[in-house]
């Protein structure tokens, strides 16, 4: 998520909240019910392999660390960016709309500057 920093607040919170919608697309129980501790069931998710570096169109390279899922970088003097790797559902209940939901959630929680 990249944004003009003179028009928008920091996007980290918005991006984190958008990542939190992913589990709703994962199957929770074989019958589709939700167990009480479904957020603790790490056997239903995986972190896909990540690159060692994120190469940006402007020639910048952002190193990827194994102990974090989110990254901040300034694209230029006017634009800041946050990038986040998302967990992967091992079994999804639906895929249609997932990208729109992630983007929409990020947009809803990204606060414009007054």
Q: What is the full per-residue pLDDT of the chain (114 aa) written as tens digits? A: 889 999 998 888 888 888 777 777 776 655 655 555 555 556 677 778 888 998 988 888 989 887 888 888 888 899 998 888 877 777 776 666 666 777 777 778 888 888
Report the alpha-carbon distance of residue 104 to residue 76 in Å, rounded. 25
Provide the pLDDT for residue 4.
93
Provide the pLDDT for residue 102.
73
Tokens, residue 105: 């959630």
Provide the pLDDT for residue 110.
86
Q: What are the angstrom distances between the C-alpha of 18 and each of 12, 32, 74, 75, 107?
A: 10, 23, 21, 21, 9
* Single pTM value for the model: 0.70
Provide the pLDDT for residue 53.
92
Q: What are the angstrom distances between the C-alpha of 91 and each of 29, 88, 95?
A: 10, 9, 10
Provide the pLDDT for residue 114.
84
Radius of gyration of the chain from its Cα atoms, rounded to whole angstroms: 16
């Amino acid at each position: 998520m990249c944004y003009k920093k003179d028009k928008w607040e920091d996007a980290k919170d918005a991006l984190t909240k958008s990542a939190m919608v992913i589990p709703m697309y994962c199957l929770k129980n074989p019958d589709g019910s939700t167990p009480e501790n479904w957020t603790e069931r790490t056997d239903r998710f995986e972190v896909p392999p990540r690159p060692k570096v994120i190469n940006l169109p402007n020639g910048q390279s952002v190193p990827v660390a194994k102990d974090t899922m989110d990254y901040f970088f300034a694209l230029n003097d006017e634009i800041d960016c946050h990038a986040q790797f998302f967990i992967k559902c091992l079994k999804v209940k639906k895929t249609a709309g997932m990208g729109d939901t992630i983007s929409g959630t990020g947009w809803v929680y990204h606060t414009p500057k007054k």
